[in-house]
Amino acid sequence: MTRKVHIVPHTHWDREWYAPFQSFRLQLVDLLDDLLPSLDADPSFVHFLLDGQMAVVDDYLAVRPDAEATLRRLAASGRLATGPWYILMDEFLVSGETIVRNLQMGLDRAAAFGGGMEVGYLPDMFGHIAQMPQLLRQFGFEHAVVWRGVPSPVDKDAFWWSAPDGSCVRAEYLVQGYGNGAYLPDDAKGLVSAIEDFERDWKDALTGPILWMNGTDHLVPQLRLGRLVAEANALQDDYDIAVMSLAEHLDQASAENLPSWRGELRSGAHANLLMGVTSNRVDVRRAAARAERALERAEALAALFQPVDKWPSALLQEAWLHIVRNAAHDSVCACSIDEVCDAVLHRYAEAASIGEGLAQRALDALGASVGGDGPVIVNPTARARAGLVEVIVPGTGLRPGAQILNERPADRVVGEIDLATMAGVVVRELKHNRRIEAIALESVETGEELWREERERDGSMLRTGTRAELDELAASGSGSVRLRVRTKPTQKLLVRVAGMPGHSWRSWTPAPLDVDAAGAAERSLWNGLVRVDVADDGTWSIDGRGGFGRIVRGGDVGDTYNWCPPDDDVEIDTPEHIEVVAEESGPLRARLRIASSYRWPSRQWGPPIDVDVTTRLELHAGEQLLRVTTEWHNACRDQRVRVWFPLPSPDDRSRAECSFAIVERGLTAEGGPNEIGLPTFPSKRFVQSGGLTVVHDGVMEYELVDVRDGVAHALALTMVRSTAMLGQGPMATRPLPAAPMIPVEGAQMLKLVRTDYGICIGDADPYALVDELLSPLLVTKAGGGPRAADGQALDVDGAVVSSLRRVGGGRLELRVFNPSDDITIVALDGRSGWLIDLRGRALEPFAGSFELGPWRIATAVLDS
């Protein structure tokens, strides 16, 4: 019987990796400079797949703008496949919104070239998130193409892959990767024999036509393909070989008797998953989270509190482009040379600056519009909540319900200056310092007042003639004078604000504390809800349950892709000595600082050095969450440092946040011949197990540890991995290299290492804890505008908000998801509009509320 063989010529373009972007771009320009005329000249080279990402097109056109018409013509005629993604992102280390925006940007851009490929092409991602089938379905795609992460129960080259909500796509599984037909043999006989070998190796897995992916990393097209295929077809009858697009192949692929899989793909059974990228370069993880959070918050604040015509679309577009480019799997995964990681950090910093700046603009706009002139508290999240804020108010002295952080008294000495040179200083103060009520000069020697000026009007206090007076005084003697000023006294207060509805603002008025006060003394913290006591070894107990915060340092001779302990690894988990200081003792915020000194090896087989680790424990009045920050200046190489937490009740499962979902995992992970299975999993913002919730800043790696009798008794969070190599040679946890063996000093993380997290015992909503830790209430200043002293911009109830922004025509677009097994009603406080898919296509109207099934994602545009 004749078997069909479908050849899809392509290249896999890692935009930056073991070489910087500009180096790979030079190669890209050469590739397309050769390819485009060849496609025109050789009709037998019928198709080329541009790696499923529009970044390749834009990076080329930035250098060859004149080629746009050719690219459009070839794409429109089907000779070139462009899109659908803007970039081939990593799925676990970026936010859900980044994934959605990436595909939206890619499809928008591809529309200019006749439309993107309608295939969820995911050839090289380091595993796949559980909700990917739902996301693809909401973009109208029926197919995914995957390689890494496919588990052993999938024994065919295709399977039905479903998301937690039941959305399902047909997933083509690239059994031998995206380069099974990478290199063309010299002659047609060689091609036939290579296909025969492949068929023999994979005969039990093949369900239909063989997919022959002719290309691999940065490989240039092999332009003799058309001739070779014609010769091979003439030579034999076993195979009917054709060059075509991936979409055409999938149209003809088999859908009969395929295995099924539900949820995430994180197995190393068939191919390297590269399980350790989550914990390399933790600075990149934190930078990614900061930038994504800043931008998502800026969108929401600008959408709610600024006029439609002030919507900052160009700046948001620029910032999202930085974030989406960074989402490339080698970029955000930081399995790259230092130059690339530097570029990634720079792009994240740019995006974060834009996001934070735009958020401030929106807050200021809200403040200016509110009546009065005092502090205005803003809840930037959709959830009703309470929390602590810092406000600056006139006055001094104790206030009910407040903790004084600092005070500026009315009268104070600014400094002592030389009489001969004081005139310039005083004039500058008079001209520019609008807060001064009075200014005086007095003799340091006698204390006698020599000169004085009182404010009589707004603006500058500088009079005509002042300078002459001061010059005369300067000429009258010598020595020093004291500069004394009087301003309105102010104090910075820490206060608690309760009962803030979602997306609301409220002018602050003093109120007594509505909950028990927080306190700290010696080695203890309390707030009436939680009590924390620090033990002699630097760990702490929560409500009498001890052993939290044990820092465990072990060796790591792996690389940026995989952790690998040395044969003779010795773990160090006890400090040489500790010191505990109560830094703040309430009544609003109580904080202890634990300084722990360790002796850690400076490197593998290196002598030990002193390491001073500082941990701050903080309790807020009225909150169950214990906030923790741990930091140290890292000077040690070749290591993994984790922090351990005992589970209140032993457990054999963990539930961690992933994009638009919570995924459940067990005590093991599936490995294979290429990679040992390690149950070190990524957690987006929280992980729960055995009655414990840990929320954290930046995607982090965790593992259930201290496994006895089939259950774990503790959870470990990786604070840093320090490794020497981008890609290591053969190692115990991964027998084959994953990348070039290049030393990367940056991966040693010889810098300030900081981890911010929160701990909560008991049943708490993890998304609420995430808001408490990462999205505090904000403060702006009322500017005497027409808006009421309090109000709510948008009331959303019943689901978690992922995104709120303005879209075409200035309408509000809201994206929510339901992270539960139960149907929920999403209530929008009387607002009506349309539910749309992720492509912006209308699905159905709603009025006031809509129903959202378990684990469903919904996007709504609201009528104004």
- What residues line the site for Zn ion (CB under 5 A)? 14, 124
CB of 328 to Zn ion, least distance (A): 8
In three state form, how does the secondary structure of 606-626 look? CCEEEEEEEEEEEEECCCCCE
Q: How far apart are CA 432 and CA 434, in angstroms?
A: 6
CB of 57 to Zn ion, least distance (A): 17
Contact present, 267 and 31 (Cβ < 8 Å): no
The nearer residue to Zn ion, 14 or 283, going by C-beta atoms, is: 14
The secondary structure of 457-497 as a DSSP string is SSS--PPTTHHHHHHHHHHT--SEEEEEEEE--EEEEEEEE
The nearer residue to Zn ion, 215 or 758, going by C-beta atoms, is: 215
CB of 579 to Zn ion, least distance (A): 48
The nearer residue to Zn ion, 138 or 326, going by C-beta atoms, is: 326
Residue 523 CB contacts under 8 Å (≥ 6 apart), including other chains: 533, 534, 580, 592
The nearer residue to Zn ion, 174 or 769, going by C-beta atoms, is: 174
Supply the angle between the helices 282-305 and 313-326 in degrees, to the nearest 10. 160
* Phi, psi (deg, nearest 5) at residue 724: -90, -30
b (16+ CB within 10 A) / e for 825-858: ebebeebebbbbebeeeeeeebeebbebeebbbb
Answer left, alpha or beta for residue 829, where phi above 0 means left and psi between -120 and 50 means alpha: left
The nearer residue to Zn ion, 443 or 674, going by C-beta atoms, is: 674
Q: How far is CA 270 from the centre of its chain?
A: 28
CB of 99 to Zn ion, least distance (A): 17
Q: Where are the alpha helices (DSSP H) in 253-311?
A: 282-305
The nearer residue to Zn ion, 219 or 425, going by C-beta atoms, is: 219
The nearer residue to Zn ion, 124 or 675, going by C-beta atoms, is: 124
The nearer residue to Zn ion, 124 or 165, going by C-beta atoms, is: 124
The nearer residue to Zn ion, 55 or 836, going by C-beta atoms, is: 55
CB of 337 to Zn ion, least distance (A): 15
The nearer residue to Zn ion, 118 or 124, going by C-beta atoms, is: 124
| Signed CA dihedral, 266, 326, 562, 641: sign only | negative
The nearer residue to Zn ion, 85 or 645, going by C-beta atoms, is: 85
CB of 740 to Zn ion, least distance (A): 13
* Residue carrying the six token digits 């996001």: 355
Contact present, 644 and 719 (Cβ < 8 Å): no
CB of 124 to Zn ion, least distance (A): 4
Supply the angle between the helices 313-326 and 338-369 in degrees, to the nearest 10. 150
* Residue carrying the six token digits 């991964």: 734
CB of 329 to Zn ion, least distance (A): 5
CB of 214 to Zn ion, least distance (A): 17
CB of 796 to Zn ion, least distance (A): 38
Residue 136 identity (one-letter amino acid): L
Give which of 99, 126, 124, 95 is closest to 680, Cα–Cα.
Answer: 126
CB of 596 to Zn ion, least distance (A): 40
Q: What letter would DSSP give residue 845?
A: E
The nearer residue to Zn ion, 215 or 587, going by C-beta atoms, is: 215
**Peptide bond preceding 84 in cis form (omega within 30 of 0):** yes
Q: What letter would DSSP give residue 219?
A: P
Contact present, 778 and 388 (Cβ < 8 Å): no
CB of 862 to Zn ion, least distance (A): 39
CB of 331 to Zn ion, least distance (A): 10
* Phi, psi (deg, nearest 5) at residue 779: -130, 135
Residue 616 identity (one-letter amino acid): R
The nearer residue to Zn ion, 542 or 726, going by C-beta atoms, is: 726
Residue nearest to Zn ion (CB): 124
Q: For 170, what's the count of Cα atoms within 13 Å in the CB-facing half-sphere?
A: 20
> Which tokens sit at 428?
């500058």
Within 10 angstroms of residue 536's Cβ, the number of other Cβ atoms is: 10
The nearer residue to Zn ion, 97 or 124, going by C-beta atoms, is: 124
CB of 330 to Zn ion, least distance (A): 6
